[in-house]
Amino acid sequence: MKNILLQTTIEYTRDDWSIERFSKLAEFLSNVRDNDGKTLFRITTRNRQNLSTGDDPTLSRLDESEFDQLWIFGVDTGSGLGTADCEAISRFRDRGGAILASRDHQDLGISLCTLGGIGEAHHFHSKNPEPDPARRAVDDTQTPSISWPNYHSGSNGDFQHVETMQPLHPIMRNPANASGSIEFLPAHPHEGAVSVPAGEQHARVAAVGRSVITGNPFNLAVAFERNRRGPAVADSSFHHFLDYNLDPRAGCPSFVTEPPGHGMLENPQALADTMAYIENIARWFAG
């Protein structure tokens, strides 16, 4: 059985994206089974805890832990990872540990920038902006308080159409569809930006979305192959995994003002594709 840590970069805050709002993700992963009906993953969920050093007691010793996978959700606007945290996470990947790193718009999750290798795949407003200056512009014009990167793939609670790259990456497979690939993922009004870091030869874009406002394409997921280090995925928005985006009836923090949609509830394939994406990542990480 593989051990997965689902972790946020903020301390518990009731009116925020704390790990408790990822309960459907945790429940689903804990029920994934092999062909013999045996549970494949043991799930641990936790929010950040700040030590006096500015580090987290679990992340700062992650390489010494029994965890095989770290799914980290950047929900902070700074100081979400300490120096010792980053060093231990890097050692964790050096020893073969797998990492999913997901963030959101503008500078939300900006602490992920400090992660060596995979951090360079994440582009923010204040740090490591997208290489193409033309992309440093507002995409979602419906929420003026949020700046770039903020790709509008649809309303929370709705789904977006996904373009998969060829050859099809394992995390994007779904043999239940005639295409053989995942076709839908949860939508979000302002997704972040990810890309393959310059000079990185062992990573590629696995999926692309498209803005419903400007029509601009944007990367949804970048996959890093296992190459003397553990595999990794840089994902453009933690809203792909949230209870609220899978089922808007789950509710959201008070600062979310955009009206939700209901496409995920009305289209069984959209939910099935999302569950396939989640399971694919966990299984691919597990080798």
Question: pLDDT for 153-181, tens place per residue?
Answer: 999 999 999 999 999 999 999 999 999 99
Do the beta carbons of residue 153 and residue 191 sit within 8 Å? Answer: yes
pLDDT digits (tens, 9 = 90+) for 99-143: 999 999 999 999 999 998 899 999 999 999 999 999 999 999 999
| pLDDT for the residue numbered 117 | 84
How far is it, in rounded angstroms, from Cα 227 to Cα 95?
11
What are the structural domains, with CATH classification, of the chain? 2-286 (3.40.50.880)
Measured in degrees and rounded to the nearest 5, phi and psi for residue 93 equal: -70, -35
pTM above 0.95, yes or no: yes
| pLDDT for the residue numbered 175 | 98
| pLDDT for the residue numbered 131 | 96
Name the 3-class secondary structure at 48.
coil
| pLDDT for the residue numbered 129 | 98
Cβ-proximal residues to 138 (8 Å cutoff; 6+ apart), any chain: 147, 148, 150
| pLDDT for the residue numbered 252 | 98
What averages of pLDDT result for each successive group of 10 residues across the chain (287 residues)?
A: 97 97 98 94 98 96 98 95 97 97 98 92 98 97 96 98 98 98 98 96 97 98 96 98 98 96 98 98 97
DSSP label at residue 86: H
Do the beta carbons of residue 102 and residue 121 sit within 8 Å? Answer: no
Locus of tokens 């992340």 = 59
| pLDDT for the residue numbered 116 | 82
| pLDDT for the residue numbered 211 | 98
| pLDDT for the residue numbered 81 | 97
